Structure 1
């Protein structure tokens, strides 16, 4: 029987290990901030709990995280039930996100592809389509990164095989991105809708 303290210890150990990914996490935050500063948008895709993370992070960007500021362009491609069901019914679930990228993706956009295993076919398809259309791909994954890591410009691989722990790490990273982006864009006055500034 698992205890809460044992689960907490497991969580704390994993979160501590994220120190080794700090450079890539920061780099991804800079890429996302640059995209938003240049009037691009962030597209999110994931399945199950990762789909919930997509919605969560997109909401923090569009509405706000901590600061009162202009809305930031973010779309969780997991939320439109008509698109999701029509495409899955008429075509195939493996391309349910790549189809949306075909419609919505622009060369200055970023795809944040979330898969705890790195093996989800529809997430890999989304990443390959995004790359073909000139988007930058940031992957949040776990385990050994799976195939997804090979299709990402930046792959952040949480070193665990336990889905729940990986998801806990992913939302921590997503929250940090939101705060980091708000700080950077506010500091550089990039919330002007006509700004073409970049952040470093």
Structure 2
């Protein structure tokens, strides 16, 4: 017996939810210890204005870094919405921070696509992308997990599994802390205010 269109849609949604949960759980294995002096933000990628940037461009500022992709249905926009709420909550102190969204889907996430993706959050989030090799190197440097997952119901027939933590790096690009997906903006704000 063939499944109805509704049943197929429900099964597809369940499959995507399971993949998302699995990627969240699996990504925890990749997280460094807090204040690990060996873990530093290092990258050379192209921003959503077409300009090449490195971690050196943000020297003296705290960096809030999240890895994701523009076609992400839930985790990425939800996290960036929390980042936007954090930036608003920081008020004048927000000038000390730079939120950064690094794509793990360079095949689709061009600078123009990222420009459209980060614009609605209105939080001065910088979108970064690059070649597949550049993204792979950046992922090894941080280190984070990501993989392409074939999914017929997703845009272009695939989605991405990835580390879903928000990372904090200090003014000298050293790792300070990370928060798992779903951490409320109020909790992140409390942590940040204790550091600045």
TM-score (norm 1): 0.40
Flag the structure with more relative contact order, 1 or 2, with Cα contacts below 8 A and sequence separation at least 6: 2
Instruction: Give the structure with the larger strand fraction.
Output: 2
Taking structure 2 as the reference length, the TM-score comes to 0.40
